[in-house]
């Protein structure tokens, strides 16, 4: 479980499309399947030499069955119930990434809590957790626990 607190100017993207991946994210050959595996094989034949899989505090490799709960204040284009704006249940692998990354001391960070949560923020996190506890089990699961796009 992870919680990201977003600040003004932060953005989060949910995607399983190559075109939407961040420019500094290099998909590793072991992270592809289906049509993307064929695309990756052609890249390797052309000389692509992959490094280690990319990781970071702003990346979440979503597996089928994972759940994202978006909480916050209602506003135009984002309404919900009791502070929960949206519940997303993933039916296939995807990447969730946040931008921009800031430095927290010597380390890069995204969405961390800068200070102790205020009472209304604590209530919002508690409501989000309550929603998670009431959800039915997902209908789709990633059985091999290996994240792959394609």
Question: Would you give per-residue pLDDT tens digits along the chain (150 residues)?
Answer: 677 888 888 999 999 999 999 988 999 999 999 999 999 999 999 999 999 999 998 999 999 999 998 887 778 888 887 778 888 999 999 999 999 988 777 888 888 766 778 888 788 888 888 888 888 888 888 877 889 998
* CA–CA gap between residue 137 and residue 95 (Å, rounded): 21
Q: Is the peptide bond before 148 cis (omega within 30 degrees of 0)?
A: no
Q: What is the DSSP string of 33-61?
A: -HHHHHHHHHHHHTT----SPP--TTEEE
Residue 114 has a pLDDT of 62
Domain spans of the chain? 11-134
Residue 108 has a pLDDT of 83
Residue 92 has a pLDDT of 92
């Amino acid at each position: 479980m992870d919680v990201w607190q977003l600040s003004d100017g932060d953005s989060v993207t949910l995607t399983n499309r190559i075109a939407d991946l961040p420019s500094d994210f290099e998909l590793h050959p072991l992270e592809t399947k289906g049509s993307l595996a064929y695309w990756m094989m052609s890249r390797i034949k052309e000389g692509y030499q992959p490094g280690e899989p990319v990781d970071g505090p702003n990346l979440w490799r979503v597996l089928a069955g994972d759940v994202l709960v978006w909480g916050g204040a209602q506003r135009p284009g984002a309404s919900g119930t009791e502070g929960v704006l949206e519940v997303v249940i993933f039916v296939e692998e995807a990447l969730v990434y946040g931008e921009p990354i800031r430095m927290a001391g010597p380390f890069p960070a995204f969405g961390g809590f800068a200070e102790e949560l205020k009472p209304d923020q604590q209530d919002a996190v508690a409501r989000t957790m309550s929603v998670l506890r009431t959800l039915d089990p997902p209908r789709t699961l990633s059985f091999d626990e290996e994240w792959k796009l394609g």
